[in-house]
Structure 1
Amino acid sequence: MTHDLDTHRLAGAYALDALTDTERRRFERHLRGCAACADEAAGFRETAARLALAAARRPPDELRGRVMAEIARTRQSPPLARRLPSPRARGPVWLAAAACLVLVLALAGAGAAWRVQRSAEREQSLNRQVAAVMSAPDARTSTVRTPAAATVTVVSSRSLGKAVVTTNRMPPLPSARTYQMWWLGPAAPRSAGTMNPAESDRPVIATGLGGARRIGVTVEPAGGSARPSGAPILTLAVG
């Protein structure tokens, strides 16, 4: 009985290809006779595929046009007519200019490297949290499709108190509006965070699951609301 229970809990790790060869062979034998685990593993694989696709983001198509338009209307400054310093004075002046240029480039490079590092650290933190939820023994997957053909998938873990929310084809919102998630249960609705409409296909970690039984999504003013301003546009069950 304990062996079967342990095998059931391998669905998340199997979907992430995180099992040893022995565990994978044992779980695949188990799948032949367990429809529940087969469905759960398929759901995890679908969610993992959506997360992989969500991580690849191309720049907006209009970005190149804006850059080229800015170049076309920005006038270049003419060269300054100046007397060149004498050969005797030229050496120190050029050395000072070169030193200033090196300092500016070093500062600019350090700033760019810091931003890249911070971005990479945020992505790594998000990936670790997503993997932890998806491979949790009590992970549960729920998916709903809206009338507008958008899809929302939630993988929740009550032991971790978190959920991974992924969306596909969510309708864009005006800049003054945002999608907000809510924990729903016996108590009053609690905010589970917002989703940037411009990044609605990016996975979001919702924390504070507590005793909630469902998660709902509403459309709220930018920045979110203290309580829902209307009925949820969709709800999903959580583990």
Structure 2
Amino acid sequence: MTHDPHDLAGAYALDALPDTERRRFQRHLPGCQACADEVTGLRETTARLALAASRRPPPALRDRVLAEIGRTRQSPPRLTRRLPPAPGRGLSWLAAAACLLLALAGGITAARFQGDAERARDLNRRIAAVMTAPDARSSTARTQDGATVTVVSSRSLDEAVITTSRLKRLPAAKTYQLWFLAASAAPRPGGVLRPPADRPSRPIIASGLGNARQIAMTVEPAGGSARPSTDPFLTLPLA
């Protein structure tokens, strides 16, 4: 255990601290701007390095994984003691019902796995394309309470990747909303997000830059609004 919390910024940014050290650093972080800046920079750099080093899996890998799921039987859990004898036939229908439910749940899980894998792969591909685009431009802005929002945009791909860090938690009836701003047009919705308060948000994709030159963020009712109901608390330039 280190006695200087300033030495924990790197490990905290990588989520590599044990619970005690992590809580200690989180208590230190709001009062130390230097550590806050270092953590933000390290997390952004880590995300860029991860995307730059990522490799697309072979196309046949998905088919092999799904095929194995369909024909591989799960091993039963190893018992540490003998089960008591069955009390009689009265519970046999419960066992049958339980088996049926497990079979149905397994089928639903496999279907969801396939859908989630497809969506995750598509999202990762789009994020990597924006981050590595020749015309990609990155900009970061900080709010008055120390939160940061980073936008990487590509005009050629007509998309932007947005990440946030330390945005304050909103009540359930509110959400953050992105807006595309152009010189001679009304703000256009760019998506809603509810990032976690204690760690960076997952990157999201905002499509349809059009002629917008800025992206702004407001607080709106849950589900978003057709037009901003509050003034933007943060504005960033786009590529």
TM-score range (shorter-chain normalised) is 0.5 to 0.7
Q: Taking CA–CA contacts closer than 8 Å with sequence separation of 6 or more, which of the two structures ends up with the larger relative contact order?
A: 1
1:133 aligns with 2:130: yes
1:212 aligns with 2:209: no
Question: Residue 237 and residue 47 in structure 1: after superposition, are their counterparts in 2 closer, same or farther (change >3 A)?
Answer: farther
Question: Residue 50 and residue 214 in structure 1: after superposition, are their counterparts in 2 closer, same or farther (change >3 A)?
Answer: farther
Q: Give the distance between the partners of 2:169 and 2:95, measured in 1 at CA.
A: 49
8 Å Cα contact 1:51-1:203 kept in structure 2: no
Q: Give the distance between the partners of 1:116 and 1:133, measured in 2 at CA.
A: 26
For the residue of structure 2 that corresponds to 1:125, the secondary structure is: helix
Consecutive unaligned residues of structure 2, counting only runs of 5 or more, are 1-41, 53-86
8 Å Cα contact 2:160-2:207 kept in structure 1: yes
8 Å Cα contact 2:167-2:196 kept in structure 1: no
Letter of the 2:235 partner, please give it.
Answer: T
Structure 1 vs Structure 2 CA RMSD: 3.2
Q: Give the distance between the partners of 1:47 and 1:235, measured in 2 at CA.
A: 22
Aligned to 1:233: 233
Equivalent pairs: percent with the same residue? 55
**Alpha-carbon distance, 1:48 to partner:** 2.1
**Alpha-carbon distance, 1:184 to partner:** 0.5
Structure of greater Rg: 1
Residue number among 82, 86, 107 corresponding to 2:104 in the alignment: 107
> How many residues are matched?
162
Aligned to 2:83: none
Cα deviation digits, residues 119-172 of structure 1 (max 9, x gap): 222222211110011111110000111111111100000111100000011111
Q: Give the distance between the partners of 1:177 and 1:84, measured in 2 at CA.
A: 55
Q: Give the distance between the partners of 2:50 and 2:182, measured in 1 at CA.
A: 28
8 Å Cα contact 2:127-2:205 kept in structure 1: yes
Aligned to 1:196: 194
Q: Give the distance between the partners of 1:50 and 1:233, measured in 2 at CA.
A: 30
Consecutive unaligned residues of structure 1, counting only runs of 5 or more, are 1-41, 53-82
Alignment of 1:34-183 (within 5 A): 45=45, 47-48=47-48, 84=88, 101-183=98-180
**Alpha-carbon distance, 1:47 to partner:** 4.7
Letter of the 1:222 partner, please give it.
Answer: A
**Alpha-carbon distance, 1:214 to partner:** 0.4
Q: Which moved more, 1:227-236 or 1:97-106?
A: 97-106
Aligned to 1:58: none
Cα deviation digits, residues 171-206 of structure 1 (max 9, x gap): 110000000000011111101011124487121100
Cα deviation digits, residues 64-112 of structure 1 (max 9, x gap): xxxxxxxxxxxxxxxxxxx956xxxx9xx96x87765543322111112
For the residue of structure 1 that corresponds to 2:121, the secondary structure is: helix
For the residue of structure 2 that corresponds to 1:173, the secondary structure is: coil
Q: Give the distance between the partners of 1:104 and 1:43, measured in 2 at CA.
A: 42
Question: Residue 99 and residue 214 in structure 1: after superposition, are their counterparts in 2 closer, same or farther (change >3 A)?
Answer: same
TM-score, normalised via structure 2 length: 0.59
For the residue of structure 2 that corresponds to 1:223, the secondary structure is: coil
For the residue of structure 2 that corresponds to 1:147, the secondary structure is: coil
Question: Residue 123 and residue 163 in structure 1: after superposition, are their counterparts in 2 closer, same or farther (change >3 A)?
Answer: same
Alignment of 1:17-36 (within 5 A): none
